[in-house]
Amino acid sequence: MESLFLIGMMGCGKTTLGRQLARTRGWDFLDFDAEIEQRTGVSVRHIFDVEGEAGFRDRETALLREFVGREHAVFATGGGIVLRPENRELLRTGGRVVYLHVTPRELALRLKQDTRRPLLQVADREAVIESLYQLRDPLYRETAHLVVALGGRSARHSVELIERGLSACQPS
């Protein structure tokens, strides 16, 4: 299980921290949304517009199936990856899974200016973040081997916390 999957809400820092974790470990870094955009040549927003959320989720699951089993890689997943039971199972068997926990309040602040995420292009963004959090927080916890609470920490400190947590919960 020599790979890491970072899971958590939009805006929790999966991409930024994943890149740093990969760099310090000398591992590959892969970002699900970026990979899907690169392969399709269009934005995630465009895929949601044309294929709907279901079409995007199919692409996400296909990519996960492809990535599972890959060694020495850090993956930044999309925030909705835990919605499908199949994905949760694939994640847990595919590597160490780390939930980056950030409160909905802080997420709302971080995502205030976002124009990239289709689910947030709504009038009441805070309410959407809150309801997605209520639905997904239990799924992230159910899927993760390790939960790291990140509120207000610097990226460097967050990476240290994650590494410390991982070495304290080695796979049996």
Binding site for ligand S3P (CB under 6 A): 10, 14, 33, 44, 78-80, 117-119
What is the C-alpha to C-alpha distance for residues 161 and 163, in angstroms, rounded to an integer? 6
Minimum CB–partner distance for residue 70 and ligand S3P (Å): 19
Angle at 102 between CA 3 and CA 56, to 5 degrees: 60
94, two tokens? 């595919």
Secondary structure (H, E, C), 133-155: HHHHHHHHHHHCCEEEECCCCCH
Q: Which residue type is seen at 30?
A: L
Residue (52 or 164) nearer to ligand S3P, CB:
52
Residue (141 or 164) nearer to ligand S3P, CB:
141
Minimum CB–partner distance for residue 168 and ligand S3P (Å): 26
Residue (96 or 117) nearer to ligand S3P, CB:
117
Q: Which residue type is seen at 102?
A: V
Minimum CB–partner distance for residue 119 and ligand S3P (Å): 5
Residue count of the chain:
172
Residue (12 or 167) nearer to ligand S3P, CB:
12
Minimum CB–partner distance for residue 83 and ligand S3P (Å): 7
H/E segment holding residue 15:
helix 14-25
**28-31 and 73-76 as β-strands: parallel, antiparallel, unpaired?**
parallel
Residue (44 or 159) nearer to ligand S3P, CB:
44
Minimum CB–partner distance for residue 120 and ligand S3P (Å): 8
